[in-house]
């Protein structure tokens, strides 16, 4: 696995969550929502989504998604939020280990895409079976120090 974006290694830290057992569609919308936020803002946002206080705006994959007050289609993808919060904390710890200022960091790159499919079978009547596959997600985050002019 490799990252799809590269930043200055002296001013940035990164984290990769591979084969997360959550929906890639939910993860893509979460990543789009937290990109550009500071680490603290993003952590608070994800904790609010898990507690169902704030909804994630669904800009794609929103065909049967209910509208939320003041935002349009949105949902509360708890499982994906929990897993992405772990990846975000990992990126924060990596930045701290490198000696970067974690108070002054923003998420400069956030992406999620499909991972490996876990194949399974569901038994049916009369000795038949149907495929019952589970989708996994790969999530990558890059946090970067803000310059004082930004």
Contact 15, 87 (CB under 8 A): yes
pLDDT value of residue 42: 96
* Of residues 144, 36, 133, 137, the one with CA closest to residue 81: 137
Q: What residue spans define the domains of the chain?
A: 13-145
Q: Which residues contact 147 (CB under 8 A, 6 or more apart)?
A: none
Token pair for residue 13? 């830290």
- pLDDT tens digits, 70-91: 889 999 999 999 999 999 999 9
pTM value is 0.91
Say how far apart CA 73 and CA 150 lie, in whole Å. Answer: 31
Which of 4-13, 22-31, 79-88 is predicted least confidently? 4-13
The residue-averaged pLDDT of 115-139 equals 96
Q: What is the pLDDT of residue 148?
A: 67
CATH number of 13-145: 3.90.470.10
**Structure confidence at residue 3 (pLDDT):** 85
- Provide mean pLDDT across the span 22-39: 96
Q: 149 falls in which pLDDT band (50, 70, 90)? A: low
User: pLDDT grade, residue 150 (50/70/90)?
Assistant: low
For 63-72, which contacts have Cβ atoms below 8 Å and span 24 or more sequence positions?
none
């Amino acid at each position: 696995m490799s990252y799809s974006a590269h930043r200055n290694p002296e001013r940035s830290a990164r984290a990769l969550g591979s084969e997360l057992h959550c929906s890639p569609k939910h993860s893509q919308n979460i990543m789009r929502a937290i990109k550009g936020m500071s680490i603290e803002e993003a952590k608070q946002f994800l904790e609010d989504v898990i507690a169902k206080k704030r909804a994630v705006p669904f800009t794609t994959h929103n065909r049967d998604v209910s509208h939320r007050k003041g935002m349009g289609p949105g949902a509360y993808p708890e499982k994906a939020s929990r897993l992405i919060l772990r990846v975000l904390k990992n990126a924060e710890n990596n930045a701290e280990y490198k000696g970067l200022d974690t108070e002054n960091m923003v998420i400069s790159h956030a992406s999620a895409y499909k991972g490996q499919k876990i194949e399974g079978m569901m038994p049916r009547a009369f000795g038949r079976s149907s495929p019952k596959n589970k989708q996994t997600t790969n999530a990558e985050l890059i946090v970067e120090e803000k310059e004082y002019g930004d």
